[in-house]
Amino acid sequence: MFVRRIAVIGTGYVGLTTGACLASLGHDVVCADVDADKIKRLTAGEVDILEPGLAELVAGGIAAGRLTFVLGAAAAVERQPEVMFLCVPTPMGVGGVADLSIVESVIEETRDLLPSGCVVVNKSTVPVGTAERTEELLVRDDVAVVSNPEFLREGSAVYDFLNPDRIVVGGSKQDAAERVAALYSRLGAPTVLTDAPSAELVKYAANCFLAMKLSYVNAVAELCDRLGADITDVTEGMGYDKRIGQAFLQPGPGWGGSCLPKDTSAMLQLADAADFEFRLIRATIDTNTRQRLRMVEKIRLAVTGKKGGSLSHVKIGLLGLTFKAGTDDLRDSPALAVAALLRQAGATLTGYDPALKPGVTHPDLNSITIAEDPYQAAQDAEALIVLTEWPEFRSLDWPRLAGEVRKPIVVDTRNLLDPAVARRAGFEWIGVGKH
Ligand code: UGA
């Protein structure tokens, strides 16, 4: 394997993971960001993203002299990189269209500085056609642009980077795409070499498929509720079919996070722009919105004993607020979406999350009092709601929680708990698609 000089622009969870992992594979990596404080902290080996194994990889890279941090993309390009990864945010802009202004400003900043022969790699999730547009913006025949989407899950990004299911690289110049694929050769993953639009579409198609799988499971769980079937047994039975697989079949309060909602909306826009009404994706999103409402109705019924009962001034304890377990990320969290609906219905909310400290600030947390521990969140609550699948909730002292609440009701939107344990402690346990 050739050791390459690599620049990574953006030190979010994708950029930092990419930089640290490529350094651990032996490459010489410089990471750039516009946040001077962050660069200072990273240079000192301080990682503020909750990502298992990342801090150790960053420390190892710095110690080996293979990983450095600089302020601004231009400073990174001064190191004459052979490959420059773009790992900057592409937030959802107006009407669900990905906002590419940060990608564009990096290209503008580096356009005249990139060494001849450099390959610019787009790792951010971008609309189909962005690689071509980047090529146009670059106006450099001697610099190639390829798309190399990432498939990292928050909370297991390092593991996913080093154990990829596949590597996808697409571009109009075959040798540039091959050079980028070679960076990963030590990982031994199947590699798809293609054109840029196909590589860009793989990312959307994969994330939308995952979202669709979850919406499907949540809809089947609703049917289980109505028919008296058990979603755990149904999904287990489905999952043994190798074409379906057991993964990503867990019902919940809906899917969220910084990727699936953004990418499903972007896919709709993409299809729309191509004059194609992608109804399956529309239904996937609508089912997800409905799932959140359905959870609130479940809670309402559990607490008031009737459909449409009032939740006004009802105190509810929330267990879990992040969009999934193993992260401190609150972006587009289904837990917060359910909380907002409960709040709208007049409920008073106290929440506990292992990743959040009391006093933490976030605009969406406004109406939720953050508790020190789950027992405090349970005090005088008329129901406890499990919203995020933190495994530690299973082994809480459930008899103690029963002593704290006003009404021993737990609505488990993740089917996380052992119902027998909760029931033994005196709780009425209410799951999703389970009885
Ligand atoms: C997702 C994809 O899984 C990654 O492959 C992709 O690289 C990433 O987006 C991205 O585009 O960067 P992530 O957003 O970290 O990763 O989260 P997931 O683990 O996919 O979870 C998404 C949501 O689905 C969460 O709210 C989670 O709780 C929910 N979920 C997941 C379920 O409700 N049930 C499941 O069985 C699995």
Do 334 and 318 form a contact (C-beta atoms < 8 A)?
Answer: no
Helix (H, G, I), strand (E, B) or coil at 272: helix
**Ligand 1 and 126: CB distance under 6 A:** no
Q: Which structure tokens are listed for 315?
A: 């105190």
Residue 262 annotated as binding? yes
Same structural domain, 355 and 233: yes
Beta strand 167-171 pairing with 144-147: antiparallel
Q: Which atom of ligand 1 is nearest to the CA of 149?
A: 7
Judged on CB neighbours under 10 Å (0-12, 13-18, 19+), 211 is: buried
Do 420 and 434 form a contact (C-beta atoms < 8 A)?
Answer: no
User: Which of residues 194, 215, 237 is at a domain's end?
Assistant: 194
Same structural domain, 271 and 298: yes
- In Å, the largest CA–CA distance within the chain is 71
Do 155 and 13 form a contact (C-beta atoms < 8 A)?
Answer: no
What is the distance in A from the centroid of ligand 1 to the CA of 153? 6
Helix (H, G, I), strand (E, B) or coil at 29: strand
Same structural domain, 189 and 257: no
Instruction: Give the Cα separation of 366 and 379 in Å (integer).
Output: 20
Instruction: Give the Cα separation of 385 and 337 in Å (integer).
Output: 13
What is the distance in A from the centroid of ligand 1 to the CA of 260? 7
Range of the domain at 119: 5-194
Do 26 and 57 form a contact (C-beta atoms < 8 A)?
Answer: no
User: Which of residues 135, 165, 194 is at a domain's end?
Assistant: 194
Same structural domain, 135 and 200: no
78 residue type, one letter: E
Residue 33 annotated as binding? yes
Beta strand 83-86 pairing with 67-71: unpaired
Instruction: Give the Cα separation of 2 and 76 in Å (integer).
Output: 20
Do 103 and 147 form a contact (C-beta atoms < 8 A)?
Answer: no
**Ligand 1 and 254: CB distance under 6 A:** no
Q: Which structure tokens are listed for 360?
A: 């933490």
- Which residues have a catalytic role annotated? 259
Same structural domain, 274 and 126: no
**Ligand 1 and 153: CB distance under 6 A:** yes
Report which of 39, 119, 27, 135 is spatially closest to residue 82, judged by C-alpha positions: 119
The protein residue whose alpha carbon is closest to atom 23 in ligand 1 is 255
Instruction: Give the Cα separation of 251 and 213 in Å (integer).
Output: 10
The protein residue whose alpha carbon is closest to atom 33 in ligand 1 is 252
Instruction: Give the Cα separation of 123 and 133 in Å (integer).
Output: 15
CATH number of the domain bearing residue 55: 3.40.50.720
Q: Which structure tokens are listed for 339?
A: 């909380």
Report which of 106, 47, 48 is spatially closest to residue 81, judged by C-alpha positions: 106
DSSP type of residue 154:
T
Residue 298 annotated as binding? no
User: Which of residues 148, 179, 194 is at a domain's end?
Assistant: 194
Same structural domain, 187 and 252: no
Same structural domain, 263 and 367: yes
The protein residue whose alpha carbon is closest to atom 29 in ligand 1 is 255
Same structural domain, 25 and 120: yes
Same structural domain, 120 and 221: no
**Ligand 1 and 213: CB distance under 6 A:** no
Q: How many domains does the chain have?
A: 2
**Ligand 1 and 353: CB distance under 6 A:** no
Instruction: Give the Cα separation of 293 and 138 in Å (integer).
Output: 46
Q: Report the 10 Å Cβ neighbour count for 6.
A: 26
Question: What is the model's pLDDT at position 1?
Answer: 56
- Starting at the earlier edge strand, list the strands of the sheet with 368-370: 368-370, 348-352, 315-319, 383-386, 409-412, 428-430
Instruction: Give the Cα separation of 170 and 197 in Å (integer).
Output: 7
**Ligand 1 and 255: CB distance under 6 A:** yes
**Residue 84 belongs to what H/E stretch?**
strand 83-86
Question: What is the model's pLDDT at position 309?
Answer: 95
Do 323 and 330 form a contact (C-beta atoms < 8 A)?
Answer: yes
Same structural domain, 144 and 217: no
Report which of 204, 3, 225, 170 is spatially closest to residue 90, judged by C-alpha positions: 204
Question: What is the model's pLDDT at position 322?
Answer: 96
Instruction: Give the mean pLDDT per block of 10 residues along the chain (435 residues).
Output: 88 96 96 97 94 96 97 97 95 79 94 96 90 92 96 95 98 95 95 97 97 98 97 98 97 96 93 96 98 98 94 98 94 96 97 91 85 97 98 98 98 98 98 96
Same structural domain, 421 and 275: yes
CA angle 201, 206, 210 (to 5 degrees): 150
Question: Euclidean distance between the first and final Cα of the chain, in Å?
Answer: 55
Quote the crossing angle between the two packed helices 231-239 and 196-227, to the nearest 10°: 140
Same structural domain, 169 and 254: no
Instruction: Give the Cα separation of 403 and 284 in Å (integer).
Output: 40
Q: Which of 203, 209, 244, 324 to mutate to test the pocket of ligand 1 (most atoms within 8 A of CB)?
A: 324
Instruction: Give the Cα separation of 415 and 84 in Å (integer).
Output: 44
